[in-house]
Amino acid sequence: MKVEEIAAKLNLKILSGSNGLQNEVSGGYTSDLLSDVMGHAGAGAVWITLQTHKNVMAVSSLKDLAAVILVKGFEPEPDMAAQSNEEAIPVLGTTEEAFTISGKLFNLLELK
């Protein structure tokens, strides 16, 4: 499933990196600790977090993640948004909490 389809089905706002909406999604990972994501997220995962700084994109790029979802209405800091555009890794937004959006993404990917 592509990031674009997930954004549409989960009603996510595209906050940056729209040039990466065709990235293929293979799974998800929910964490606010960067080393946890670095150590355990798989390539092609969507990362669900409340961290809004540029280092999120550095980790996403190094791990070949498909997209980032910011929870609870958080928005990326300007340099995070800029790097998201550069790396073609979309940052998507939801007003929901991590638990809820993780469950929805899990169901969506399992039902694929």
Partner 1 sequence: MMHFEFPIEGGNFLKAGSASSQLKKILKQLNVDPRIIKRVVVAAYEAEVNVVAHAYRGIIMIDIDTSRICIQLVDEGPGIPDIGRAMQMGFSTASPEVREMGFGAGMGLPNIKSNSDELSITSEVGKGTTVKITNYLEQ
Binding residues for partner 1, per CB under 8 A? 32-36, 38-39, 43, 49, 51, 53-55, 58-59, 61-63, 79
Which lies closer to partner 1 via its Cβ, residue 6 or residue 59? Answer: 59
Euclidean distance between CA atoms 97 and 102, whole angstroms: 8
- Scan for tokens 């389809």, then name that residue: 5
Which lies closer to partner 1 via its Cβ, residue 8 or residue 38? Answer: 38
Which lies closer to partner 1 via its Cβ, residue 7 or residue 57? Answer: 57
Min separation Cβ 41 and partner 1, Å: 10
Min separation Cβ 92 and partner 1, Å: 18
3-state secondary structure of 18: helix
8 A C-beta contact, residue 107 and residue 9: no
Min separation Cβ 76 and partner 1, Å: 14
Burial of 34 (0-12, 13-18, 19+ CB in 10 A): middle
